[in-house]
Chains A and B, each alone.
Chain A
Amino acid sequence: MRFILLQNYGEVGSGCGPMPEWSPEDISAHIRFQQVLNEELTESGELVDAQGLSGPERAQFVVSDGVTAPVITDGPYPESKELLAGYRLVDVGSADRALEIAARASAAPGPDGVPLEQPIEVREVLSAPDPEV
């Protein structure tokens, strides 16, 4: 079963400010946490892909009717908190395992090592039909 674990720029449970306002040590600890988690998921054979996205300032929105020139809106986008910041794609044995990984990611350390309580959106990736069906 594949699940995608999404995180956006919205507020976190711990109520701390955005990363650029943290101390360098806290930033390092956070980065290290994410790396260790990815290494663990690689070793367990569950990590398919993990990516961080460039900032909301670089976001562009495209709308097209397929005929006339597309309408392209450049950032910064007013609702940037809704934008995706990054994701992990995992291939796991059960939905519970996906939730367990999401819980680990949610508790990533913030300033002074306090868990961020970052909301993680867990979505199952639609699979091909079962051959028995």
Chain B
Amino acid sequence: MTTVIGTEDLLRALAPRVLGAVVRRYGHFADAEDAVQEALLTATTTWPTAGEPDNPLGWLIRVASRRMVDHYRRDDARRRREDLAASWSVTRADPDTVPEADHDDTLILMFLCCHPALSPATAIPLTLRAVGGLSTREIAGAFLMPEATMAQRISRAKATIKESDEPFSLPTPDQRASRLRSVLHVLYLLFNEGYISNSGPDLARTDLSGEAIGLARSVRVALPDDPEVAGLLALMVLNDARRPARTAADGELVPLAEQDRSLWDRSLIIEGVTLVTAALQLGPAGEYVVQAAVAALHDQARCYVDTDWSEILSLYGRLERMTGNPMVTLNRSVALAMVDGPRAGLALLEEVAEQMGHHHRFQAVRAHLLEMAGATASAMDGFRAAAAGATNLREQQYLTKKAARLAAELP
């Protein structure tokens, strides 16, 4: 059994390198991606019994290249044959040559898959397939979607990329920053999809968070000097460190204040704190670095009350000025309540009430601060309203129980 798991891990690690090599040789990202998927599938079925080849990377590149050529042979379209012949003559290389610049290939693929012309909902599955080496079936399973629908989504994503006619190379320096932002945003959303799933019965979809962390690690290897890349990876591992304490044995959500901190993953916390420290030295802190700094303060606190709330308050102030996102104001009002008392937090909440008043997160935060202020009846109503608007099953159950607990306290 271990050899099977070993093979899978190896294949997934090699996937972006194989794809990079095949695209470099033949062009045609969309077709190359299909050919690589077929090669990976062939390896999955033959390696466990026949044994791994001596040069797995060369083997995969050779099999994928052969698939690519087979497809073109079957294809009657003259233009495509001519295209292939043209690209062949320039880059006809020894199939066993290990391509150089592997990290760059992974990065180029990330930029392509997280192309701004794609919505995150299409960029995420494409990234998981092309860079993460997951099969369509696995991706569909993680998103609780029919395989055919997911396959269609991926092929439409590839069609969009084809239309964009982007060369297989790193973006130009003037585009680089905005393109990197797209990549980081897609990875951030993928992590969150796994961490708090918006649909389905499971609070955390372990696999997707793990995939996001793995992809962020490979971006970090390719861009070790970018503070936001380090910041995003730090944010992910610092949140992931708390995951074992986030759900009770019966699957119910445990809020930060009530988590058993001895369950937190120390090695991830150390990694995250080291990354944040490094990120802060690399340059001015962006959104992800600031959020990671907040997460680091939570992860290093002995208990909820002992947390460095005044530092968190100032970090959220910075983040609010940077993003203008009212969701940040919700978080800042909790920090303010911990520093200056719940009434101060409630007063701050009023500033975004008009904009956010109907959002269940706003209602939940407000109810939480009302509870802190001893306004039990209003807090109970607030938690009920928040539960009614919740879109995550576990959150909905948590908020309903919160309201029930307060109801039991009422005279």
A residues near B (Cβ < 8 Å) are: 19-24, 27-28, 31-32, 35, 38, 49-52, 54-55, 57-58
Contacts and interface: CB of A to CB of B under 8 A. Distances in A.
B201 interface: yes
Contacts of B48: none
Contact of A24 (B201, B388, B404): B404
A23 B252 contact: no
Contacts of B357: none
Which label, helix, strand, loop or mixed, suits the secondary structure of the B interface?
helix
A28 B252 CA distance: 9
Most buried by B among A20, A21, A28: A20
Given A35-B251, A50-B201, A27 B397 contact: yes
B408 interface: yes
B390 interface: yes
A20 B387 CA distance: 9
Contacts of B404: 20-24, 27
8 contacts: A20-B404, A24-B408, A27-B404, A31-B251, A50-B201, A52-B396, A54-B390, A55-B387
Interface in B180-224: 199-201
B393 interface: yes
Interface in B355-411: 384, 387-391, 393, 396-397, 400-401, 403-405, 407-408
Contact of A28 (B250, B388, B393): B250
Contacts of A32: 250
A19 B393 CA distance: 14
Nearest to A50: B201
Contacts of A20: 384, 387, 400, 403-404
Contacts of B400: 19-20, 27
Contacts of A58: 388-389, 391
A32 B249 CA distance: 10
Interface string B348-360: 0000000000000
A28 B254 CA distance: 13
Contacts of A31: 250-252, 397
Contact of A55 (B199, B200, B388, B403): B388
A85 to B, nearest CB: 11
A21 B407 CA distance: 8
A51 to B, nearest CB: 7
A57 B407 contact: no
